[in-house]
Amino acid sequence: MAGSNKIPYDQALPILQRFVEESPDYALRDDPEGPFGSNHTITRGFRRGDPVVFKCAFWANRTEERGLRHFAATGLVPVVHDVIQLDGMGMIVMSEFPGSMGAEFRQRVTDPTVIGPLMEDVGASVWQLLSVPFDAGSMQEDPRRYMAAMFARIRDIHGRLPHSGLLRESLDFQQKWSDVASQQPVRLCIRDIQEMVHEGRLVGFIDLEGATAQTEAFQLGCVIAGLCNYRGENVRNAAWFCRRFLAGYERARGSTLTEDELCAALAMLHHVKCWRIALYKKPTEDWREEDYTKAAQNAVSEAERIVWCNQVMREFVPSLTLKTALSV
C-alpha cells in the first residue's frame, strides 16, 4: 500500500496545541470519544464558540479542500475555515455537522415514515451536488484514462487470484457499461460519500477526500454501494433504501433514469467494490508479491459484497434484464 498520510495523535497534538495557542479564535474541546479517523487524525474543537473539526495529516488533503470549496455554495458540505501546513503537519479546519452517519442512524431508527423521506432527501441532495458547474479541465484526472488504467491493473490482479470467476465476470460487466458512463458529462464526484443525519433530517455530506472527476453513473454507484454495505439489513430493506434514494434523485433531476443509465450505475458500483481490491494504490505504482497476497484476501470479502449488491439490485430494479455478470 502506498505510504500512509495519517499522522499519529501523539505527534499531532503538540503541533495542534501550538496552533490553538497562537490562534485566539480557536480552542480544543474535551472529547470523551478521543481522536478518530482512519486516514487522518481528527479531533474536535471550537472556532469563535462554534464547533469545528481539525483534520490532521502529514500534509493537508488538497483534494478534500478542493471538493469542500467546489460544493460550498450548496450548504451541503462543511465550511473550510483554515488550511495549514505547520511543523511537518497539514491540517484542514472545517465546521462540524451535528448528528451521526446515515448508516448508524438507519441502524437505530427503522420507522419508514422517517427513513423514507430521509433517503429521498439524500437523493435530491446528491443531484444538487452533481448540478454544481464543473470545469473538467481544472483537474488532471481524465475519467476515461483512469478507468482504462484501473481495469488493466485489476485484471492483472484477478489473473493471480484463486476462485476469481465472479470477479472476472464483474469486470466484463463493468467494461461493457463503462462506455455508457464515459459518455456522460464529467462532474466532481465524491467516492466515499457519507451523509450526516441530525434529528431525522439530512444535514449534509462529509469525507470529501475522495473527490474526483467522474460521471453521474459513478456517483450513483458510490451512493448505492454505501446503501448496500449495511449487512445487518436484509436484501429487501437495502433495496427499499435504494428505491427511495433514487425516487428523490429522479424527482430533483426531473427525469427517470433509463435502464442503460441504471446498468451504468450498477457497473460503477461493481467498480467501486473491485477498486478496493487494489488497496488504494495508484494503477501506475509497482506491486510486490505481498501486495497480491493481500489483494487475494480482500477479493474474498469483496466478491461476497458484489453478490450482496447483485441481490439487492435484482430486488430493487426487477425490470433490468441482468444479462451479464449478475448471476451468482
Q: What structural domains and CATH numbers belong to the chain?
A: 9-95 (3.30.200.20), 100-316 (3.90.1200.10)
* Geometric angle at alpha carbon 57, from 149 and 87, rounded to 5°: 130
Binned at pLDDT 50, 70 and 90, residue 79 comes out as very high
Question: For the segment 278-302, what is each residue's pLDDT rounded down to a tens digit?
Answer: 654 555 566 677 776 676 666 666 6
Residue 1 has what pLDDT? 40
Mean pLDDT of 245-257: 97
DSSP 97-151: PPSEEHHHHHHH---HHHHHHHHHHHHHHHHHHHTS---GGGSS--HHHHHHHHH
Mean pLDDT of 150-158: 75
Binned at pLDDT 50, 70 and 90, residue 162 comes out as low
Query: What are the residues facing 93 on neighbouring strands?
Result: 54, 82
pLDDT at residue 256 above 60?
yes
Cell 472527476, residue located = 213
What stretches of 60-111 show up as alpha helix (H) in DSSP?
Answer: 62-70, 102-108
Mean pLDDT of 34-60: 89
Long-range contacts of 9-14 (CB under 8 A, 24+ apart): 9/35, 9/41, 9/43, 11/89, 12/41, 12/43, 12/56, 12/89
More confident residue, 58 or 305: 58
Binned at pLDDT 50, 70 and 90, residue 323 comes out as very low
Alpha-carbon distance of 326 to 328, in angstroms, equals 6
Alpha-carbon distance of 282 to 21, in angstroms, equals 39
Residue 118 has what pLDDT? 97
Alpha-carbon distance of 179 to 293, in angstroms, equals 31
Q: What is the pTM of this model?
A: 0.87
Mean pLDDT of 262-291: 72
Q: Is 134 exposed, middle or buried (0-12, 13-18, 19+ CB in 10 A)?
A: middle
pLDDT at residue 328 above 50?
no
Query: Are 88 and 102 in contact, with CB atoms under 8 Å apart?
Result: no
Of 245, 273, 298, 316, give the one whose Cα is nearest residue 170.
Answer: 273
Binned at pLDDT 50, 70 and 90, residue 177 comes out as confident
Other Cβ atoms within 10 Å of 171 Cβ, number: 20
What Rg, from alpha-carbon coordinates, does the chain have?
20
Query: Which of 27-31, 48-52, 169-173, 285-289 has the lowest average pLDDT?
Result: 285-289
> Considering the chain, what percentage of its residues have pLDDT values greater than 90?
41
**End-to-end CA, the chain:** 30
* CA distances for 263 relative to 110, 166, 172, 179, angstroms: 29, 17, 13, 11
Maximum CA extent, the chain: 62
The letter for the amino acid at 161 is L
> Considering the chain, what percentage of its residues have pLDDT values greater than 70?
80
